[in-house]
Amino acid sequence: MGREESALGAIITRQAVSTMASPKELLDRDRDRDRKAEHIRLALEERMQFASHAFERCTFDHDALPDIDFGDIDLSTGFLGKRIRAPLLLSCMTGGTEIAARINHNLAEAAESRGVALGVGSQRKALEDPSQASSFEVRSVAPTIPLLANLGAIQLNYGYGIDHCRRAVAMIGADALVLHLNPLQEAIQPEGQCRFAGLLPKMAEIARQLSVPVIAKEVGSGISEATGRRLAGAGIRTLDTAGVGGTSWARIEAQRAHDLETGELFAGWGIETPESIRQLRRIDGVTIIGSGGLRSGVDVAKAIALGADLAGLAQPFLEAAIESAERVCERIDRIVHELKIAMFCLSSRTVSDLKSVPIRMETER
Protein backbone atom coordinates (compact mmCIF):
# COMPACT_ATOMS: atom_id res chain seq x y z
CA MET A 1 0.00 0.00 0.00
CA GLY A 2 1.50 3.37 -1.05
CA ARG A 3 1.83 6.31 1.33
CA GLU A 4 -0.80 8.34 -0.52
CA GLU A 5 -3.30 5.49 -0.32
CA SER A 6 -2.84 4.98 3.42
CA ALA A 7 -3.22 8.73 4.00
CA LEU A 8 -6.53 8.69 2.18
CA GLY A 9 -8.09 6.71 5.01
CA ALA A 10 -8.61 9.91 6.97
CA ILE A 11 -11.11 11.32 4.52
CA ILE A 12 -12.48 8.91 1.94
CA THR A 13 -15.33 6.52 2.44
CA ARG A 14 -14.87 3.18 4.18
CA GLN A 15 -15.73 1.42 0.96
CA ALA A 16 -12.97 3.13 -1.00
CA VAL A 17 -10.40 2.32 1.66
CA SER A 18 -11.40 -1.33 1.90
CA THR A 19 -11.36 -1.95 -1.84
CA MET A 20 -8.25 0.19 -2.51
CA ALA A 21 -9.42 0.63 -6.10
CA SER A 22 -7.02 2.16 -8.58
CA PRO A 23 -7.77 5.68 -9.91
CA LYS A 24 -8.91 4.24 -13.25
CA GLU A 25 -11.17 1.72 -11.50
CA LEU A 26 -12.69 4.46 -9.38
CA LEU A 27 -13.31 6.64 -12.44
CA ASP A 28 -14.87 3.80 -14.40
CA ARG A 29 -17.03 2.71 -11.45
CA ASP A 30 -18.20 6.22 -10.55
CA ARG A 31 -18.75 7.24 -14.18
CA ASP A 32 -21.68 4.92 -14.60
CA ARG A 33 -23.62 6.45 -11.75
CA ASP A 34 -22.30 9.95 -11.15
CA ARG A 35 -22.21 13.17 -13.18
CA LYS A 36 -19.21 14.55 -11.24
CA ALA A 37 -17.09 11.50 -11.99
CA GLU A 38 -18.04 11.83 -15.65
CA HIS A 39 -16.91 15.48 -15.52
CA ILE A 40 -13.51 14.36 -14.21
CA ARG A 41 -13.09 11.74 -16.90
CA LEU A 42 -14.01 14.15 -19.68
CA ALA A 43 -11.86 16.98 -18.30
CA LEU A 44 -8.82 14.73 -18.65
CA GLU A 45 -9.42 14.39 -22.40
CA GLU A 46 -7.38 16.75 -24.55
CA ARG A 47 -10.30 17.34 -26.91
CA MET A 48 -12.21 19.03 -24.07
CA GLN A 49 -9.64 21.82 -23.94
CA PHE A 50 -10.05 24.99 -25.98
CA ALA A 51 -6.71 26.40 -27.15
CA SER A 52 -7.25 30.14 -27.47
CA HIS A 53 -3.49 30.95 -27.52
CA ALA A 54 -4.38 34.19 -25.73
CA PHE A 55 -1.40 34.09 -23.37
CA GLU A 56 0.93 33.42 -26.29
CA ARG A 57 -0.14 36.78 -27.71
CA CYS A 58 0.91 38.55 -24.49
CA THR A 59 4.59 39.51 -24.61
CA PHE A 60 7.23 41.06 -22.35
CA ASP A 61 10.41 42.97 -23.11
CA HIS A 62 13.26 40.78 -21.88
CA ASP A 63 15.68 42.48 -19.47
CA ALA A 64 19.21 41.38 -20.41
CA LEU A 65 20.64 43.12 -17.31
CA PRO A 66 18.32 42.33 -14.36
CA ASP A 67 19.35 44.23 -11.25
CA ILE A 68 18.49 41.36 -8.90
CA ASP A 69 19.90 38.02 -7.76
CA PHE A 70 17.87 34.94 -8.66
CA GLY A 71 18.08 33.68 -5.09
CA ASP A 72 16.48 36.86 -3.75
CA ILE A 73 13.23 36.48 -5.67
CA ASP A 74 10.30 36.42 -3.22
CA LEU A 75 7.00 34.99 -4.50
CA SER A 76 5.08 35.38 -1.24
CA THR A 77 1.87 37.38 -1.20
CA GLY A 78 -1.22 37.90 0.91
CA PHE A 79 -4.60 36.30 0.25
CA LEU A 80 -7.65 36.21 2.52
CA GLY A 81 -5.64 37.48 5.47
CA LYS A 82 -2.99 34.76 5.16
CA ARG A 83 0.48 34.71 3.69
CA ILE A 84 1.06 32.23 0.89
CA ARG A 85 4.47 31.30 -0.49
CA ALA A 86 3.53 31.78 -4.15
CA PRO A 87 0.66 33.61 -5.90
CA LEU A 88 -1.08 30.36 -6.81
CA LEU A 89 -4.53 28.90 -6.28
CA LEU A 90 -5.23 25.26 -7.04
CA SER A 91 -8.63 26.08 -8.47
CA CYS A 92 -11.96 24.47 -7.60
CA MET A 93 -12.26 21.09 -9.30
CA THR A 94 -14.37 18.36 -7.78
CA GLY A 95 -15.95 16.52 -4.84
CA GLY A 96 -18.69 14.10 -3.95
CA THR A 97 -17.26 10.85 -5.39
CA GLU A 98 -14.65 8.31 -4.34
CA ILE A 99 -12.13 9.51 -6.91
CA ALA A 100 -12.86 13.12 -5.92
CA ALA A 101 -11.93 12.31 -2.34
CA ARG A 102 -8.55 11.08 -3.54
CA ILE A 103 -8.09 14.17 -5.73
CA ASN A 104 -9.02 16.66 -3.01
CA HIS A 105 -6.84 14.97 -0.40
CA ASN A 106 -3.81 14.96 -2.68
CA LEU A 107 -4.39 18.57 -3.73
CA ALA A 108 -4.74 19.64 -0.10
CA GLU A 109 -1.63 17.82 1.06
CA ALA A 110 0.40 19.36 -1.76
CA ALA A 111 -1.05 22.85 -1.30
CA GLU A 112 -0.20 22.76 2.41
CA SER A 113 3.30 21.48 1.69
CA ARG A 114 3.99 24.24 -0.82
CA GLY A 115 2.06 27.02 0.91
CA VAL A 116 -0.47 27.87 -1.81
CA ALA A 117 -4.25 28.33 -1.77
CA LEU A 118 -6.84 25.67 -2.60
CA GLY A 119 -10.49 25.58 -3.65
CA VAL A 120 -12.80 22.57 -3.59
CA GLY A 121 -15.47 21.69 -6.13
CA SER A 122 -19.17 22.41 -5.75
CA GLN A 123 -20.40 21.19 -2.36
CA ARG A 124 -24.04 20.96 -3.38
CA LYS A 125 -23.89 17.19 -3.46
CA ALA A 126 -22.56 17.03 0.11
CA LEU A 127 -25.25 19.42 1.38
CA GLU A 128 -27.92 17.19 -0.13
CA ASP A 129 -26.20 13.93 0.89
CA PRO A 130 -24.09 14.38 4.06
CA SER A 131 -22.39 11.03 3.46
CA GLN A 132 -20.47 12.78 0.66
CA ALA A 133 -19.04 15.50 2.91
CA SER A 134 -15.90 13.48 3.61
CA SER A 135 -14.77 13.94 0.01
CA PHE A 136 -14.45 17.69 0.69
CA GLU A 137 -13.11 17.67 4.25
CA VAL A 138 -9.43 18.43 3.79
CA ARG A 139 -8.74 21.00 6.51
CA SER A 140 -7.11 18.32 8.67
CA VAL A 141 -4.32 17.92 6.09
CA ALA A 142 -4.23 21.61 5.11
CA PRO A 143 -4.51 23.51 8.40
CA THR A 144 -2.79 26.78 7.46
CA ILE A 145 -3.51 27.61 3.80
CA PRO A 146 -6.40 29.69 2.42
CA LEU A 147 -9.19 27.23 1.66
CA LEU A 148 -12.20 28.08 -0.52
CA ALA A 149 -15.68 26.55 -0.19
CA ASN A 150 -17.78 26.42 -3.35
CA LEU A 151 -21.43 26.47 -4.42
CA GLY A 152 -23.17 27.29 -7.67
CA ALA A 153 -24.62 30.80 -7.47
CA ILE A 154 -27.63 29.55 -9.43
CA GLN A 155 -28.65 27.44 -6.42
CA LEU A 156 -29.73 30.67 -4.73
CA ASN A 157 -32.60 30.72 -7.25
CA TYR A 158 -33.47 27.10 -6.48
CA GLY A 159 -34.03 27.22 -2.74
CA TYR A 160 -30.55 27.75 -1.29
CA GLY A 161 -29.90 30.58 1.15
CA ILE A 162 -27.54 31.79 3.84
CA ASP A 163 -27.88 28.59 5.88
CA HIS A 164 -26.65 26.45 2.98
CA CYS A 165 -23.73 28.83 2.43
CA ARG A 166 -22.78 28.74 6.09
CA ARG A 167 -22.92 24.96 6.10
CA ALA A 168 -20.64 24.78 3.05
CA VAL A 169 -18.11 27.05 4.76
CA ALA A 170 -18.30 25.16 8.06
CA MET A 171 -17.99 21.78 6.31
CA ILE A 172 -14.38 22.48 5.36
CA GLY A 173 -13.40 25.34 7.67
CA ALA A 174 -13.17 27.66 4.67
CA ASP A 175 -11.68 31.15 4.54
CA ALA A 176 -14.05 32.24 1.74
CA LEU A 177 -17.00 31.00 -0.29
CA VAL A 178 -16.87 30.80 -4.08
CA LEU A 179 -20.21 31.34 -5.79
CA HIS A 180 -19.57 30.10 -9.29
CA LEU A 181 -21.36 31.50 -12.33
CA ASN A 182 -21.95 29.11 -15.22
CA PRO A 183 -24.84 30.19 -17.49
CA LEU A 184 -23.33 28.63 -20.62
CA GLN A 185 -22.71 25.32 -18.87
CA GLU A 186 -26.22 25.25 -17.43
CA ALA A 187 -27.76 26.07 -20.83
CA ILE A 188 -26.06 23.09 -22.50
CA GLN A 189 -26.09 20.65 -19.58
CA PRO A 190 -28.85 18.02 -19.79
CA GLU A 191 -29.78 18.76 -16.14
CA GLY A 192 -29.20 22.49 -16.50
CA GLN A 193 -30.81 25.07 -14.21
CA CYS A 194 -31.30 28.31 -16.14
CA ARG A 195 -33.42 30.64 -13.98
CA PHE A 196 -30.78 33.35 -13.56
CA ALA A 197 -33.17 36.32 -13.26
CA GLY A 198 -32.85 38.16 -9.95
CA LEU A 199 -29.71 36.31 -8.90
CA LEU A 200 -27.44 39.28 -8.12
CA PRO A 201 -29.47 40.66 -5.15
CA LYS A 202 -29.40 37.19 -3.58
CA MET A 203 -25.64 37.01 -4.03
CA ALA A 204 -25.36 40.45 -2.45
CA GLU A 205 -27.36 39.29 0.56
CA ILE A 206 -25.07 36.29 1.01
CA ALA A 207 -22.03 38.57 0.84
CA ARG A 208 -23.60 40.84 3.47
CA GLN A 209 -24.50 38.08 5.91
CA LEU A 210 -21.70 35.55 5.55
CA SER A 211 -18.82 35.75 8.02
CA VAL A 212 -16.19 35.09 5.32
CA PRO A 213 -15.67 36.85 1.97
CA VAL A 214 -17.61 35.79 -1.11
CA ILE A 215 -15.73 35.21 -4.37
CA ALA A 216 -17.52 35.30 -7.73
CA LYS A 217 -16.03 32.89 -10.25
CA GLU A 218 -16.90 32.06 -13.83
CA VAL A 219 -16.17 28.51 -14.98
CA GLY A 220 -14.69 29.12 -18.42
CA SER A 221 -16.29 32.09 -20.20
CA GLY A 222 -14.72 35.02 -18.34
CA ILE A 223 -16.08 38.03 -16.46
CA SER A 224 -16.43 41.38 -18.21
CA GLU A 225 -15.79 44.79 -16.68
CA ALA A 226 -19.53 45.53 -16.70
CA THR A 227 -20.37 42.32 -14.86
CA GLY A 228 -17.43 42.84 -12.51
CA ARG A 229 -18.72 46.28 -11.57
CA ARG A 230 -22.16 44.85 -10.83
CA LEU A 231 -20.61 42.19 -8.60
CA ALA A 232 -18.34 44.67 -6.84
CA GLY A 233 -21.31 46.98 -6.26
CA ALA A 234 -23.08 44.05 -4.62
CA GLY A 235 -20.25 43.67 -2.11
CA ILE A 236 -18.35 40.88 -3.86
CA ARG A 237 -14.83 42.22 -4.02
CA THR A 238 -12.88 39.16 -5.18
CA LEU A 239 -13.41 38.07 -8.79
CA ASP A 240 -12.07 34.96 -10.50
CA THR A 241 -11.96 35.39 -14.27
CA ALA A 242 -11.99 31.70 -15.30
CA GLY A 243 -11.89 32.96 -18.86
CA VAL A 244 -11.83 31.25 -22.25
CA GLY A 245 -8.72 29.22 -22.90
CA GLY A 246 -8.79 26.07 -20.80
CA THR A 247 -11.31 23.32 -20.19
CA SER A 248 -14.40 23.88 -22.31
CA TRP A 249 -17.50 23.07 -20.30
CA ALA A 250 -19.50 23.65 -23.46
CA ARG A 251 -17.73 20.69 -25.04
CA ILE A 252 -18.03 18.55 -21.91
CA GLU A 253 -21.73 19.15 -21.40
CA ALA A 254 -22.44 18.80 -25.12
CA GLN A 255 -20.70 15.44 -25.06
CA ARG A 256 -22.93 14.39 -22.18
CA ALA A 257 -25.99 15.73 -24.03
CA HIS A 258 -24.98 13.95 -27.29
CA ASP A 259 -24.98 17.32 -29.07
CA LEU A 260 -21.43 17.83 -30.30
CA GLU A 261 -22.46 20.51 -32.80
CA THR A 262 -23.60 22.85 -30.04
CA GLY A 263 -20.45 22.08 -28.06
CA GLU A 264 -18.23 23.18 -30.93
CA LEU A 265 -20.32 26.26 -31.63
CA PHE A 266 -19.87 27.51 -28.05
CA ALA A 267 -16.47 25.97 -27.24
CA GLY A 268 -14.76 29.37 -27.36
CA TRP A 269 -17.68 31.50 -26.22
CA GLY A 270 -16.80 34.31 -23.87
CA ILE A 271 -13.86 36.51 -22.90
CA GLU A 272 -10.30 35.25 -23.09
CA THR A 273 -8.56 35.27 -19.73
CA PRO A 274 -5.98 38.03 -20.44
CA GLU A 275 -8.74 40.35 -21.65
CA SER A 276 -10.94 39.53 -18.67
CA ILE A 277 -8.06 40.36 -16.29
CA ARG A 278 -7.38 43.61 -18.15
CA GLN A 279 -11.03 44.66 -17.93
CA LEU A 280 -11.44 43.78 -14.25
CA ARG A 281 -8.26 45.66 -13.35
CA ARG A 282 -10.09 48.88 -14.21
CA ILE A 283 -12.37 48.34 -11.19
CA ASP A 284 -11.00 49.95 -8.03
CA GLY A 285 -10.59 47.89 -4.90
CA VAL A 286 -11.14 44.37 -6.22
CA THR A 287 -8.90 41.34 -5.84
CA ILE A 288 -8.48 39.46 -9.11
CA ILE A 289 -7.78 35.77 -9.51
CA GLY A 290 -6.61 35.21 -13.06
CA SER A 291 -7.66 31.75 -14.21
CA GLY A 292 -8.69 29.98 -17.38
CA GLY A 293 -6.14 28.31 -19.63
CA LEU A 294 -3.00 28.97 -17.58
CA ARG A 295 -0.56 26.13 -18.12
CA SER A 296 2.87 27.36 -16.98
CA GLY A 297 4.76 29.72 -14.73
CA VAL A 298 5.17 32.07 -17.68
CA ASP A 299 1.37 32.23 -17.99
CA VAL A 300 1.21 33.03 -14.27
CA ALA A 301 3.72 35.86 -14.76
CA LYS A 302 1.67 37.26 -17.63
CA ALA A 303 -1.57 37.07 -15.64
CA ILE A 304 -0.04 39.01 -12.75
CA ALA A 305 1.56 41.60 -15.03
CA LEU A 306 -1.85 42.09 -16.66
CA GLY A 307 -3.39 42.86 -13.27
CA ALA A 308 -4.20 39.63 -11.44
CA ASP A 309 -3.32 39.37 -7.76
CA LEU A 310 -2.84 35.62 -7.99
CA ALA A 311 -3.28 32.92 -10.59
CA GLY A 312 -5.62 29.94 -10.54
CA LEU A 313 -4.92 26.63 -12.28
CA ALA A 314 -6.95 23.43 -12.26
CA GLN A 315 -6.52 21.12 -15.25
CA PRO A 316 -2.68 21.07 -15.04
CA PHE A 317 -3.00 19.47 -11.59
CA LEU A 318 -5.92 17.11 -12.20
CA GLU A 319 -4.10 14.06 -13.56
CA ALA A 320 -1.33 14.46 -10.99
CA ALA A 321 -3.89 14.67 -8.17
CA ILE A 322 -5.44 11.37 -9.22
CA GLU A 323 -2.04 9.75 -8.69
CA SER A 324 -0.51 11.29 -5.57
CA ALA A 325 0.24 14.40 -3.55
CA GLU A 326 3.88 14.04 -4.57
CA ARG A 327 2.95 14.41 -8.23
CA VAL A 328 0.98 17.56 -7.44
CA CYS A 329 3.98 18.94 -5.54
CA GLU A 330 6.14 18.30 -8.59
CA ARG A 331 3.73 20.26 -10.78
CA ILE A 332 3.62 23.15 -8.30
CA ASP A 333 7.42 23.20 -8.06
CA ARG A 334 7.77 23.33 -11.84
CA ILE A 335 5.31 26.22 -12.18
CA VAL A 336 7.01 28.10 -9.33
CA HIS A 337 10.44 27.59 -10.94
CA GLU A 338 9.16 28.79 -14.30
CA LEU A 339 7.62 31.84 -12.64
CA LYS A 340 10.91 32.66 -10.93
CA ILE A 341 12.82 32.44 -14.20
CA ALA A 342 10.33 34.80 -15.85
CA MET A 343 10.58 37.23 -12.95
CA PHE A 344 14.39 37.09 -13.03
CA CYS A 345 14.38 37.99 -16.73
CA LEU A 346 12.01 40.87 -15.97
CA SER A 347 14.09 42.18 -13.04
CA SER A 348 11.15 41.60 -10.68
CA ARG A 349 12.15 40.58 -7.17
CA THR A 350 8.61 40.51 -5.78
CA VAL A 351 5.07 39.92 -6.98
CA SER A 352 4.47 43.64 -6.49
CA ASP A 353 7.37 44.39 -8.85
CA LEU A 354 5.90 42.02 -11.44
CA LYS A 355 2.59 43.87 -11.37
CA SER A 356 4.33 46.99 -12.69
CA VAL A 357 6.14 45.29 -15.59
CA PRO A 358 4.89 46.45 -19.02
CA ILE A 359 3.18 43.75 -21.06
CA ARG A 360 1.73 43.91 -24.55
CA MET A 361 -1.45 42.19 -25.70
CA GLU A 362 -1.15 41.62 -29.43
CA THR A 363 -4.31 41.42 -31.49
CA GLU A 364 -4.92 38.09 -33.20
CA ARG A 365 -3.88 38.10 -36.83
309: Cβ contacts below 8 Å, ≥ 6 apart: 77, 79, 87, 287, 288, 289
Distance CA 121, CA 138 (A): 12
Residue 4: the pLDDT is 37
365: Cβ contacts below 8 Å, ≥ 6 apart: none
DSSP state of 364: P
280: Cβ contacts below 8 Å, ≥ 6 apart: 223, 225, 228, 239, 241, 286, 288, 307
Banded model confidence at residue 290, pLDDT cuts 50, 70, 90: very high
Q: What value does the CA radius of gyration of the chain take, rounded to a whole number of Å?
A: 19
Q: Stretch 16-22: mean pLDDT, rounded? A: 42
pLDDT digits (tens, 9 = 90+) for 143-175: 999 999 999 999 999 999 999 999 999 999 999
Residue 36: the pLDDT is 67
Distance CA 55, CA 245 (A): 9
Coil, strand or helix at 343: helix
Torsion angle of alpha carbons 252, 258, 264, 267, nearest 10°? -20
What mean pLDDT is reported for the chain? Answer: 90
In this predicted structure, the answer to whether residue 89 has a pLDDT above a threshold of 70 is yes
Domain ranges of the chain: 3-49+80-339
pLDDT digits (tens, 9 = 90+) for 299-346: 999 999 999 999 999 999 999 999 999 999 999 999 999 999 999 999
Distance CA 90, CA 94 (A): 11
Distance CA 121, CA 222 (A): 18
In this predicted structure, the answer to whether residue 13 has a pLDDT above a threshold of 50 is no
Q: Is residue 274 left, alpha or beta, with left meaning phi > 0 and alpha meaning psi from -120 to 50? A: alpha
Residue 44: the pLDDT is 72
Is residue 125 a contact partner of residue 151, using CB atoms and an 8 Å limit?
no
CATH, domain range 3-49+80-339: 3.20.20.70
Is residue 222 a contact partner of residue 257, using CB atoms and an 8 Å limit?
no
Distance CA 181, CA 153 (A): 6
Distance CA 139, CA 108 (A): 8
Q: What does the DSSP assignment read for 206-253? A: HHHH-SS-EEEEESSS---HHHHHHHHHTT--EEE---BSSB-HHHHH
